[in-house]
């Protein structure tokens, strides 16, 4: 029994193929406008079509253009007044969106926010790296005990103040009986001994508080 022959595929004329391509491109453009994401293959089709001039120019108002690229209309007017190199020309009363995209790709630092230049990606990455280096330096200084976090300083001052208050109140309670019957010289001597004793206890208290902290290498 002979094998069944497959019918040959229908041949398309150049005009028919061109019409199919245009419909595919139109569908892809509609997909983008609907907020859908193109696949890699679809994006490639669109790029090829753009290169072959099959895609009609997308014209937008200057207001829409300023929204898309986050620049003010005043900035666009100023660029045209300055005759900045490569600035896309108006198409009637509209703006050629593809032409502006190409121009911004060629001039990444040209975008503006509130009249201020938008920093390009390389500049932002450099700033990010500088900040990270500075943070690492601060961490290292803390490890070497050259810097102390403000919270630790506040906690330490609170602890010292509380200990000093307790010692002084204790001194007020303990001293009168010790000074009873002493002359001026004896009072000064006893006060000196008591004050030095308080200072020694405060010093020992602070030493104990930091005894468990890791020492710098």
The per-residue pLDDT for range 149-200, each reduced to its tens digit, is 788 778 888 888 888 888 888 888 888 888 888 888 988 988 898 888 888 8
Q: What is the pLDDT of residue 182?
A: 86
Contact in structure between 87 and 80 (CB atoms under 8 Å) = yes
**Residue 31 neighbours by CB under 8 Å, 6+ apart:** 38, 42
Q: In this predicted model, which residue has the larger pLDDT, 193 or 70?
A: 193
pLDDT of 213 higher than 60: no
Distance of CA 163 to CAs 26, 132, 199, Å?
80, 40, 10
pTM: 0.31
Q: What is the pLDDT of residue 214?
A: 47
Average the pLDDT over 46-71 and give the result.
Answer: 74
pLDDT of 17 higher than 70: no
Q: What is the pLDDT of residue 123?
A: 65
Q: In this predicted model, which residue has the larger pLDDT, 146 or 74?
A: 74
Q: What is the mean pLDDT of the chain?
A: 76
Weakest mean pLDDT among 6-15, 96-105, 110-119, 206-215: 110-119
């Amino acid at each position: 029994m002979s094998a069944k022959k497959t019918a040959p595929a229908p041949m398309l004329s150049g005009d028919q193929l061109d019409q199919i391509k245009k419909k595919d491109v139109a569908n892809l453009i509609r997909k983008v406008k609907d907020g859908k994401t193109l696949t890699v293959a679809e994006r490639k089709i669109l790029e090829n079509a753009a290169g072959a001039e099959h895609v009609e120019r997308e014209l937008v108002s200057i207001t829409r253009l300023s929204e898309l690229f986050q620049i003010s209309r005043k900035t666009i007017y100023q660029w045209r007044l300055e005759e900045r190199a490569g600035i896309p020309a108006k198409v009637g009363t509209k703006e050629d969106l593809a032409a502006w995209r190409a121009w911004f790709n060629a001039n990444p630092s040209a975008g503006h926010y509130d009249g201020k230049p938008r920093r390009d990606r390389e500049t932002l990455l450099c700033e990010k790296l500088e900040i990270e280096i500075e943070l690492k330096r601060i961490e290292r200084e803390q490890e070497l005990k050259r810097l102390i976090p403000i919270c630790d300083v506040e906690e330490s001052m609170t602890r010292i103040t509380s200990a000093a208050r307790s010692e002084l109140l204790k001194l007020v309670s303990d001293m009168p009986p010790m000074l009873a019957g002493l002359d001026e010289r004896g009072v000064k001597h006893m006060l000196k001994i008591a004050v030095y004793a308080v200072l020694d206890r405060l010093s020992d208290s602070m030493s104990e508080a930091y005894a468990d902290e890791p020492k710098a290498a």
